[in-house]
Amino acid sequence: MPFLGELAALTTATCWAGGSLLFFRAARRVGAFTLNHARITLAFFLLSCLVLATRGTHWAGGADGRHLGLLALSGLIGLTLGDWAYFRSFVDVGPRLTTLLMTLAPPFTALLAIPLLGETLGAKAVAGMAITLGGVIWVVRERQPAAIPHGHLVRGVFLGGVGSMGQAMGLVLSKMGMGTVVDPLPATAVRMGAATVGVWILAVATGRLRDLPRLLRDPTARWSTLGATLLGPVTGVWLSLVAVRLTKAGVAATLLALTPILIIPMVIVFHRERVSTRAGLGAAIAVAGVAVLFLRH
């Protein structure tokens, strides 16, 4: 099917948009670190059950240690380190600037894919990526962040860059790890297993284990966490690997960056929020960029 990778990336961005609304609903009640710790652990459990139910124990017969090692490394870099840096940046500089910094992930991905994957991008693909990212940046820069202490600004910008590089490296390593022998679903389970080990180590090292019972006692947080997990680390991350396997890594990363745009209709419908003309124009620009990506062949 033509453009199956691009469609998977758009579906991923939609899942991440819906999951983000649930994520921040729960994070306001129990904290972002605790929620991320819980959702990655739960995602690993659900993905493991799904892989065993659909593939049995012989889920990747052709995989060797190199494939599994690259997938595990991609989980640690992209999901443990990348997500940790993203949430720390969110605390330091706020959602707008952090989201803006995360738009660095697509160009980072495209640059890493040249030496590591041997991928190249044509002029139309580059133009489509630039237009799409321009629309996203236009939207997320609508409101200037409030005054941020210099120390927090420097640390937040640095961590935002680390988060973007972590996401980019995670995607590229995932594609290298899957090769032609590991399907996206078991590959996602391997990545999530490594990420689970990583977040538990972080939780123990920072003394955050005591926060988990608070999440379990809060019904709103529990159900929001389940929804955010199903949409984000389970369905979303799985489809992101489908996307990166079937299309160029830089193109997939650009389409994944549409999450802030796809949140707009969701907040209109579910939160009755009014959206500015600027946000609408930014969304239109991003959609135009997507159209260029789909028409580039």
**Coil, helix or strand at residue 167:** helix
Q: Which helix (H) or strand (E) holds 195?
A: helix 184-206
Report the C-alpha gap between 21 and 37 in whole angstroms: 17
Q: Any idea of the CA torsion for 147, 149, 152, 156, to the nearest 10 degrees?
A: 30
Residue 149 has pLDDT above 90, yes or no: no
Residue 17 has pLDDT above 90, yes or no: no
Cβ contacts of 90 within 8 Å, gap of 6 or more: 32, 98
Q: Give 208-264 pLDDT, tens digit per residue.
A: 888 888 888 999 989 999 999 999 999 999 999 999 999 999 889 989 988 888 888
CA triplet 56, 187, 50: central angle to 5 degrees?
40
Give the pLDDT band of residue 35 (cuts 50, 70, 90): confident
Res 168: pLDDT: 94
- Per cent of the chain over pLDDT 70 is 95
Res 74: pLDDT: 97
Judged on CB neighbours under 10 Å (0-12, 13-18, 19+), 45 is middle
Res 36: pLDDT: 85
Give the pLDDT band of residue 296 (cuts 50, 70, 90): low
Res 170: pLDDT: 96
Q: Which helix (H) or strand (E) holds 19?
A: helix 4-30
Q: Give 157-168 pLDDT, tens digit per residue.
A: 899 899 999 999
Residue 197 has pLDDT above 90, yes or no: yes
What would the two tokens of residue 59 be?
């889920």
Give the pLDDT band of residue 60 (cuts 50, 70, 90): confident
Judged on CB neighbours under 10 Å (0-12, 13-18, 19+), 54 is exposed
Give the pLDDT band of residue 116 (cuts 50, 70, 90): very high
Average pLDDT over the chain reads 87
Q: What is the mean pLDDT of residues 112-125?
A: 89
Res 167: pLDDT: 94
- Sign, CA torsion 122/124/125/130: positive
Supply the range of the domain harboring residue 290: 4-294
Q: Find which of 44-48, 121-125, 180-184, 206-210 is predicted with most confidence, using mean pLDDT.
A: 44-48
Q: b/e string for 146-173 if b means 16 or more Cβ within 10 A?
A: eeeeeeeeebbbebbbbbbbbbbbbbbb
Query: Radius of gyration of the chain from Cα atoms?
Result: 18
Q: How many domains does the chain have?
A: 1
Residue 63 has pLDDT above 90, yes or no: no
Whole-model pTM? Answer: 0.87
